[in-house]
A and B are shown apart, each in its own frame.
Chain A
Amino acid sequence: GAVVSQHPSRVICKSGTSVKIECRSLDFQATTMFWYRQFPKQSLMLMATSNEGSKATYEQGVEKDKFLINHASLTLSTLTVTSAHPEDSSFYICSAAYLRDRGDIQYFGAGTRLSVL
């Protein structure tokens, strides 16, 4: 299957700092990238969908000024958690897909565990 690289895998930061997470599709061009958040013992929650060259579409309840998404190329999307606070501590996961029809597969990164002190 295709490979999606997510970096960093783990980050610990102080409250008030900003953290950038990168998501790269290594062997295919992704029309669409997705960002999810997962709290312990819970399922994945979709935060936003981004298409290359256009603004991300955020899910209801997700602050777009808090979670900045940039999808500058067909192989790279970044999520920046601005002014992170302890409640932002979570497991962030990206996925990428070349969406043409309903059968297309999403490929996921390994996730980034963010701990805000």
Chain B
Amino acid sequence: DAKTTQPNSMESNEEEPVHLPCNHSTISGTDYIHWYRQLPSQGPEYVIHGLTSNVNNRMASLAIAEDRKSSTLILHRATLRDAAVYYCILRGEVGTSGSRLTFGEGTQLTVNP
């Protein structure tokens, strides 16, 4: 499975933007970039995903580098409820082992009031 690298932890202040980086230098041309987050004592929840173009949804934006070797999850205005572990995961072809979501250590985001 292609590997991702994220900082162990980041801090932000409430109502400020947060940029969470992810490196995936061994990404294959067909891998999608998925982001999930896990709040304390809960199952993970989907945040956003993309392939090549930048993506926006109601939760966040995903900026993907032109060479696809890195991406950045952007929370436009952090709230206390955004404090969670954020996972950047590469998903490969359905029906192969690469289609599984393999969780790394993720980034623990702390949001200060």
Contacts and interface: CB of A to CB of B under 8 A. Distances in A.
Interface stretch (B15-23, B39-47, B60-68, B73-81): B39-47
Nearest to A6: B43
A36 B31 CA distance: 22
Interface string A72-114: 0000000000000000000101110001111111111111010
Contact of B42 (A43, A105, A107, A111): A111
Q: Which of A44, A100, A102 has the most CB of B within 10 A?
A: A102
Contact of B101 (A4, A106, A109): A106
Contact of A102 (B91, B102, B105): B91
- B contact patch SS: loop
B49 A103 contact: yes
Interface residues of A, number: 28
B45 A108 contact: yes
Which range contains the number of B residues in contact with the other chain?
20 to 34
B92 A102 contact: yes
A44 B41 contact: no
A106 B42 contact: no
Contacts of A99: 94-95, 99
A102 B92 CA distance: 6
Contacts of A91: 41
Contacts of A116: none
Contacts of B106: 43
Interface of B: 30-32, 34, 36, 38, 41-46, 49, 51, 87, 91-95, 99-106
In the A-B complex, the 5 residue pairs with the closest CB atoms: A108-B43, A102-B32, A44-B103, A93-B43, A43-B103
